Amino acid sequence: MGEQQKERELHIPQINFTVPVEEVIRVGMTGLPAAMRRARRIEDRLKTLQNRARERHEEILSSLRCEVSRFVGMFPRAEYCRRFLVLAGCWKQVAHLVQPHLGTACGGGGDARAAFSSWLEIRRLARRAEEEWESWDISHELEEINLDIDRHNEFFPIEARLRIDIKTGEYIRQYRKNHVTREDIMGVIPALFCVPEIPWRDFRRAWRLTVYSD
């Protein structure tokens, strides 16, 4: 009798619930379960916010790119601009801003003072762009997403009928989601707003070596 009792204990079913027939019918009639609808809503809201962040980033960069284009046009030849920035020691920092404009028509008169003023304007716009990007408020959107995540963490085990490990009393499947932060949305988009300072003495020297080298 002891062996039979032991055998029965070793084969205790690990299923903690059964799905009633009426529940299966209800799901078929009402569509996706609440847990799946909520998960899809979280995913859709995240994608929407990420797309908005990219669009906002492009908007902020637009005025900066316009001034960069004007600066490139001040050189007698487009390739001179790249040479100048290499000599000034800042090509790597601003290549992403300048490179798209190197194929445009130039023909500038080689006025170092005017070019220096344009560079100062680029730096001013870069600082303003960075401030706009850092101050862009997405707190409301994050709050809505995180409220849904809180509901998911609270109700998903019941809605999804997760099984429980009898030995530990814990759910056998990891289901909790972490809150979405501003860094999760903004941090994955390179800011690209850094424009280094070039002192006038260094600027004039690099300009002369560039424009008057031929």
Cα distance between residue 108 and residue 207, in whole Å: 13
What pLDDT sits at residue 34? 77
Question: For position 167, what pLDDT does the model report?
Answer: 74
Q: What is the pLDDT of residue 140?
A: 94
3 phi, psi to nearest 5 deg = -65, -40
> Between 112-135 and 34-72, two packed helices, what is the crossing angle to 10 degrees?
170
Residue given tokens 């409220």 in the structure block: 147
Give pairs for 102-108: CB < 8 Å, separation 24+: 102/72, 102/78, 103/78, 104/69, 104/72, 104/73, 104/78, 105/73, 105/78, 106/72, 106/73, 106/74, 106/75, 106/76, 106/77, 106/78, 106/80, 106/81, 107/73, 107/76, 108/73, 108/74, 108/75, 108/76
Q: What is the pLDDT of residue 47?
A: 93
**Closest C-alpha among 128, 214, 139, 135 to residue 181:** 139
Residue 147: per-residue pLDDT: 93
Provide the token pair at 138. Answer: 């997405």
Q: How much is the pLDDT for 8?
A: 45
* pTM of the full structure: 0.70
Stretches where the chain sits below pLDDT 50 are 1, 5-19
